[in-house]
Amino acid sequence: YSLAQVQKSLARIQVLGYDQKMDVYGSLRVTPVSSGYCLGSSNWVITSDHEKITYVSGSSTLTTHPRPMDQASLKHSNVLILTALTQTPIANPDSMLGELCMTVASTIRNNGSVLIPCYASGTVYDLFECLSTHLDNVNLANVPMFFISPVADTSIAYSNILAEWLSQAKQNKVYLPEEPFPHAQLIKSGRLKHFKHIYDEGFSNDFRQPCVVFCGHPSLRFGDAVHFVEMWASNPQHTIIFTEPDFAHLEALAPFQPVAMKALHCPIDTSLNYNQANKLIRELKPQHLVLPECYTLPPANFPLRLDLVVSKEQIIGDRKQVAAPAILPVRRGEVHKLPVRCAKAQVQLDPELARQLVPVEGKTGVGVCSVTGRLTVKDNKFVLQSLKPEDDVASTSSGLTRLRNPGEPMRNLQYEYGPLGIDQFVQRLNQEGISDAKIEPHKNGYIIHLQEHDTLIQIDDNLTHIYCGV
């Protein structure tokens, strides 16, 4: 694709901020909320007037640099769609990070350099912070770190100015003002140097060993990481550390074999693990749960680890939760109809019509009145408006009203509601010439017998039955 085609496609994308609501053709409202995984990562809340669907993508409940996960907005949904759980369920991110730091220090002490194939954003910000702190503590503060990526400049700049996406502690630094990330100070002091590529002006002059190099791509199929693997592969003093869980490290290194440099697999995946996912489901309390089928089965490498699944029976302590959500497992390529049915719609009352209403108090704090109006539907929004003069009930030339034709509006109609007054009802019957009405009490109301008309009228609290020809 050409650059113009890419830009034309991107121009169709509408960018939203956290908690910003967007109306979709009047039918739905979508809202992104922080997922806590990386800068800008979001979960989505999709709502109509009375229904709610939540989509949980890559999320994390750990305390790192992004804004914490917003769980309150995800609660009590009709359907929760759960995806992107951890790819390394038995690897603890904190343990992996500690092992990485110790390996880097050990390699540098042996006069070797370290290559960390990574993405240009995300976990790399935490690696800058933790690794620089560890090197300071072991008296290796003079070791340079190099960040090489076509978007290295942009990545570092955006991480320092997008305060909306940061944790509260880092947001506070922005407003002081201070740089929210330690890597800004590392760059000023010259410990961290960033370049677009290895052929960038000044890289050859600044590059020295031993060092730590962060560059892409984690697959080792393209990017400047390929150059460093080819340059250091034959030296056992150097180390390559794989931190991204998206790629198998042995497959990544396969084209470069034989490799003498040390290879370490330290996958740092801060996504929700299965314990965290089960806890999250209990707290969010969805009615239905949609998730990949593989999340309901133990991993192929650990078939007996039943703790590495999303449990179909949510557990609280030693007791099973009664109101566990109904689980709908799905497979790749399958199409499912979500168990959500729109049973109600919201109707807005036009201000002009509202001014004409005179509510009567039905009970304390509740007013009741009948409404006749014109219901208009536009952009999936319902509005009840006042009838216009031409909307009167049609009348004949003799002045008598006739039945409405289908589609004709109603006007000046009366709606009966509330309990039926027996005395008033009998009086109205007398006015109509029916004077033989006999009233008998009934357990739920009254029975009125009209002898001349051979008719019984049974009046209950909520129903009225008329029996003719009895």
Task: Evaluate whether 79 touches 206 at the Cβ level (below 8 Å).
Answer: no
Domain range for residue 256? 93-265
Asked if residue 27 belongs to a domain, the reply is yes
Asked if residue 464 belongs to a domain, the reply is yes
Report the greatest alpha carbon distance in the chain: 116
Tokens representing 387 are 């009838």
Asked if residue 5 belongs to a domain, the reply is no
Quick one: 143 and 63 in the same domain? no
Quick one: 248 and 230 in the same domain? yes
Quick one: 43 and 111 in the same domain? no
User: Which pLDDT does position 98 carry in this prediction?
Assistant: 92
Last residue of a domain, one of 226, 242, 265: 265
Q: What gap in Å lies between CA 288 and CA 286, rounded to an integer?
A: 6
Per DSSP bridges, beta strands 192-195 and 145-148 are: parallel
Per DSSP bridges, beta strands 381-385 and 347-349 are: parallel
Quick one: 113 and 65 in the same domain? no
Quick one: 261 and 127 in the same domain? yes
Quick one: 33 and 159 in the same domain? no
Task: Evaluate whether 74 touches 46 at the Cβ level (below 8 Å).
Answer: no
Asked if residue 194 belongs to a domain, the reply is yes
Give the Cβ contact number of residue 446 at 10 Å: 16
Quick one: 194 and 259 in the same domain? yes
Last residue of a domain, one of 265, 292, 313: 265
Asked if residue 367 belongs to a domain, the reply is yes
- pLDDT (tens place) for every residue of the chain, 470 residues total: 899 999 999 999 988 988 999 998 888 899 999 998 988 889 999 998 889 999 999 999 888 888 889 999 999 999 999 999 998 888 898 899 999 999 999 999 999 999 999 998 888 888 988 999 999 999 998 999 999 999 888 888 777 667 777 777 777 776 777 777 777 788 888 889 999 989 888 898 899 999 999 998 999 999 999 999 999 999 999 999 999 998 989 999 999 999 999 999 999 999 999 999 999 999 999 999 999 999 888 888 888 888 888 887 654 444 555 456 888 999 998 898 888 888 888 899 999 988 888 888 878 888 888 888 888 888 888 899 888 765 555 544 444 555 555 555 555 566 666 667 788 888 888 888 888 888 888 777 888 888 888 888 888 877 788 888 75
Quick one: 208 and 132 in the same domain? yes
Quick one: 413 and 443 in the same domain? no
Quick one: 235 and 324 in the same domain? no
User: Which pLDDT does position 415 carry in this prediction?
Assistant: 62
Q: What gap in Å lies between CA 371 and CA 353, rounded to an integer?
A: 9
Q: What gap in Å lies between CA 142 and CA 34, rounded to an integer?
A: 37
- CA dihedral 366→372→377→380, nearest 10 degrees, is 20
Residue type, 174: V
Q: What gap in Å lies between CA 116 and CA 122, rounded to an integer?
A: 14
Closest CA to 206 of 147, 127, 153: 147
Asked if residue 45 belongs to a domain, the reply is yes
- Say how many domains are in the chain: 4
User: Which pLDDT does position 441 carry in this prediction?
Assistant: 84
Quick one: 169 and 41 in the same domain? no
Residues making up the chain, counted from first to last: 470
Q: What is the end-to-end Cα distance of the chain in Å, rounded?
A: 84
Asked if residue 360 belongs to a domain, the reply is yes
User: Which pLDDT does position 181 carry in this prediction?
Assistant: 76
User: Which pLDDT does position 4 carry in this prediction?
Assistant: 93
User: Which pLDDT does position 407 carry in this prediction?
Assistant: 52
Angle in degrees, 0-180, between the axes of helices 182-189 and 152-161, rounded to the nearest 10: 130
Tokens representing 150 are 């076509």
User: Which pLDDT does position 235 carry in this prediction?
Assistant: 93
Quick one: 129 and 246 in the same domain? yes
Contacts of 406 (CB under 8 A, 6+ apart): none
Task: Evaluate whether 382 touches 348 at the Cβ level (below 8 Å).
Answer: yes
Tokens representing 442 are 């009934």
The domain that holds 142 is classified in CATH as 3.40.50.10890
Asked if residue 403 belongs to a domain, the reply is no
